[in-house]
Amino acid sequence: MSQDQLETRRREILAAARGCFARHGYEGATVRRLEEATGLSRGAIFHHFRDKDSLFLAVAEDDAAAMVATVARHGLVQVMRDLLTRVNDPNAAPETAGWLGTQLEVSRRLRTDPDFAKRWAQRAEAIATATRDRLRRQREAGVLRDDVPLPVLAQFLELAYDGLVLHLAMGRPVGDLGPVLDLVEEAVRRR
């Protein structure tokens, strides 16, 4: 296989594994289920990823990189809007449909797996840095309120994001949370 074909195959495995982890959780995403989800053999999957843990970490890192890019361009509230779109859209692409499940599994593993937490710290810091950098740029552009310190605004947005994820994880009705996210966004904007 060419390098392009290998990368395409790797992306296909990540997309299918994301959905499998979202449906079954880390423990429930057995190798058999991963084989069924990807349509590939164990050997083909683990040719690209050392083991199931490496595969999950790659899925989570892929999601974190997408989140950092979105935060850098559009802010953390846009990540929340994207999350709602993915949850509300029954036709969401497989590579995005499992995003909430990945986030929930990362949260669970952060609480229960110290080794994972150590490995994940760098990704979490990248998201936090992107959020702070975006807020700093917004303040310099005169768009962001200046009566609240940037670290407080960053924590506010992070708490709103965590609250949204928890809300969705608990299976509460999603309804139209757009106005709630509008309020979160307005709370950090200059008046």
Q: Kind and range of the H or E element at 135?
A: helix 114-140
Average pLDDT in the 87-93 region? 63
Q: What is the span of the domain harbouring residue 77?
A: 3-188
**pLDDT at 89 (0 to 100):** 66
Average pLDDT in the 109-131 region? 89
- Tokens 């950098």 — which residue? 133
Residue 26 token pair = 């880390």
Count the domains in the chain. Answer: 1
As to burial, measured by CB atoms within 10 angstroms (0-12 exposed, 13-18 middle, 19+ buried), residue 189 is exposed
* Pairwise CA distance, residues 118 & 78, whole Å: 27
pLDDT in tens, 55-78: 999 999 998 888 889 999 999 999
pLDDT at 99 over 80: no
pTM, entire model? 0.82
Q: What is the CATH number of the domain that holds 127?
A: 1.10.357.10
Contact 83, 165 (CB under 8 A): yes
From first CA to last CA, the distance across the chain in angstroms is 57
Contact 75, 86 (CB under 8 A): no
* Pairwise CA distance, residues 85 & 114, whole Å: 32
Instruction: Identify any residues that bridge with 144 across adjacent strands, giving them in sequence order.
Output: 189
